[in-house]
Amino acid sequence: MSLLNREVFWPPADELIEVAERIRARLGEWPAAETRWRICLAIPETPKADDLIVFTEPEQTIAAGDAAVLEAHDGRVTLHRGGERFALEGEWSDDWLAALAAFLDCNFEPHDALTLALAWRSGDENKDDAWPVDFATFPRVADLPPAPEGGFPACPDRLGLYPVLPSAEWVERVLDLGVRTTQLRRKTTDPADLKNEIARSVAAGRRHDAQLFINDHWREAIEAGAYGVHLGQEDVQTADLNAIARAGLRLGLSTHGYYEMLRALHFRPSYLALGAVFPTTTKVMPTKPQGLARLARYVQLLSGRVPLVGIGGIDMKAMPPVLATGVGSAAVVRAVTEASDTAAAVSTLQQMFSSQR
């Protein structure tokens, strides 16, 4: 866990290393960092892919090659990395660079480590548990379009068991077994099939007074009068969120870390999905699995602020430790669709949620 005897800062900065060490010592045990990032306080002669070059003056610029660049001035920090841009606004402590080194050492990606570093406050290293959990200290994601006026309708705070299902037939079967939150994730290029599957699923949801979400296909969900729609981070840039809100549909958004959580919260969604908690084969994930320790920290920060759903690789065995984090809902796929006895699997999973209350 020690940062000593590593080239964490360039040029070497003993005082920053000492502060980073004190902060890291209060953050607990985390997997070893997969990348040994180097925070460059001056421009290295040959920037490397694992360099984060910090600029604190507006007029500074550099052709950084494969290196990432951090521009920090005037209440704003922008990370440029691999063609992507992550912009955050707010206040930060004088120790933010030391905190950044500490959170990078906890194996967080630079944009999430940066989010945590800006939420850090000087003196937090004196706490027994120094992890940032005060939402008021977290930065804001900059340059986002306005959230829909009035926001989206609310969901129950604890959505419970949340099967994500491939067809209307599966939706009907699971709702008949007493599940009250589910999602249709229909993979088809046939417009007629999609329209029919959504209409049939929405009808089943109404019969059971259930929370039926449609994955991705927001136009069709509006047309069918669905309870809600679930979108990924990339869909926020293309979907008409105002149209979804005007139609009265709930909105669930996928997130994969601190930066995306803050970005999603800007749009005032009905719930946030946090994942992928574990490796999953049901879809290609843009990020590595989050794990239980991160999920618990996400819940600690956001519980009571927005309904939360753990998602990704959650099976029967994994459900109890997932629920132990305090998350109010957990999405499952194969735990239901590949069960040898669907009714028994649903009953067992439902009992796990009942014992959580």
pLDDT for position 345: 98
> Within this chain, do residues 230 and 334 fall inside the same structural domain, yes or no?
yes
In a domain, residue 232? The reply is yes
> Within this chain, do residues 189 and 111 fall inside the same structural domain, yes or no?
no
In a domain, residue 149? The reply is no
With 80 as the cut, is the pLDDT of residue 130 above it? yes
With 80 as the cut, is the pLDDT of residue 61 above it? no
Tell me the mean pLDDT in the region 74-82.
94
Q: How many CA atoms lie within 13 A of 144 on its CB side?
A: 22
Beta bridge partners of 181: 211
Tell me the mean pLDDT in the region 158-173.
98
Tell me the mean pLDDT in the region 320-347.
97
How many structural domains does the chain have?
2
Helix 291-302 vs helix 258-265: angle between axes, to the nearest 10 degrees?
30
With 80 as the cut, is the pLDDT of residue 64 above it? no
d(CA 184, CA 75): 42
Tell me the residue range of the domain where 36 lies.
Answer: 9-141
pLDDT for position 3: 81
With 60 as the cut, is the pLDDT of residue 1 above it? no
With 80 as the cut, is the pLDDT of residue 80 above it? yes
With 70 as the cut, is the pLDDT of residue 127 above it? yes
> Within this chain, do residues 134 and 167 fall inside the same structural domain, yes or no?
no
> Within this chain, do residues 112 and 197 fall inside the same structural domain, yes or no?
no
Q: Residue 355, annotated ligand binder?
A: no
Tell me the mean pLDDT in the region 146-151.
94
Q: Are 68 and 52 in contact (CB under 8 A)?
A: yes
Q: Residue 121, annotated ligand binder?
A: no
pLDDT for position 45: 87
With 80 as the cut, is the pLDDT of residue 41 above it? yes
Tell me the mean pLDDT in the region 331-344.
98
With 80 as the cut, is the pLDDT of residue 5 above it? no
Q: Residue 195, annotated ligand binder?
A: no
With 80 as the cut, is the pLDDT of residue 227 above it? yes
> Within this chain, do residues 137 and 173 fall inside the same structural domain, yes or no?
no
With 60 as the cut, is the pLDDT of residue 43 above it? yes
> Within this chain, do residues 110 and 166 fall inside the same structural domain, yes or no?
no
- CATH code, domain carrying 332: 3.20.20.70
In a domain, residue 118? The reply is yes
> Within this chain, do residues 178 and 125 fall inside the same structural domain, yes or no?
no
Q: Residue 187, annotated ligand binder?
A: yes
pLDDT bracket for residue 58 (50, 70, 90): confident
In a domain, residue 212? The reply is yes
- First vs last C-alpha separation in the chain: 37
Both tokens of 200, joined, read 């049939």
Both tokens of 244, joined, read 């979804």
Q: Residue 183, annotated ligand binder?
A: yes
Percent of the chain with pLDDT strictly greater than 90: 86
| CA angle in degrees (0–180, nearest 5) for 236-237-239 | 60
> Within this chain, do residues 131 and 193 fall inside the same structural domain, yes or no?
no
Tell me the mean pLDDT in the region 317-336.
97
d(CA 241, CA 237): 9
> Within this chain, do residues 232 and 199 fall inside the same structural domain, yes or no?
yes
In a domain, residue 4? The reply is no
In a domain, residue 128? The reply is yes
In a domain, residue 148? The reply is no
- Last-in-domain residue among 109, 141, 173: 141
Q: Residue 185, annotated ligand binder?
A: yes
> Within this chain, do residues 165 and 290 fall inside the same structural domain, yes or no?
yes
- Last-in-domain residue among 112, 141, 170: 141
In a domain, residue 151? The reply is no
Q: Residue 317, annotated ligand binder?
A: no
- Last-in-domain residue among 108, 141, 174: 141
Tell me the mean pLDDT in the region 77-93.
95
With 90 as the cut, is the pLDDT of residue 311 above it? yes
pLDDT for position 114: 98
DSSP 200: H
Q: Residue 184, annotated ligand binder?
A: yes
Residue 138 dihedral angles phi and psi, to the nearest 5°: -75, 150
pLDDT for position 17: 94
Q: Residue 215, annotated ligand binder?
A: yes
With 80 as the cut, is the pLDDT of residue 32 above it? yes
pLDDT for position 287: 75
> Within this chain, do residues 191 and 336 fall inside the same structural domain, yes or no?
yes
d(CA 211, CA 209): 7
> Within this chain, do residues 164 and 118 fall inside the same structural domain, yes or no?
no
Q: Residue 93, annotated ligand binder?
A: no
pLDDT for position 157: 96
> What is the model's pTM?
0.95
Q: Residue 180, annotated ligand binder?
A: no
Q: Residue 283, annotated ligand binder?
A: yes
- Range with lowest mean pLDDT among 22-26, 194-198, 295-299: 22-26
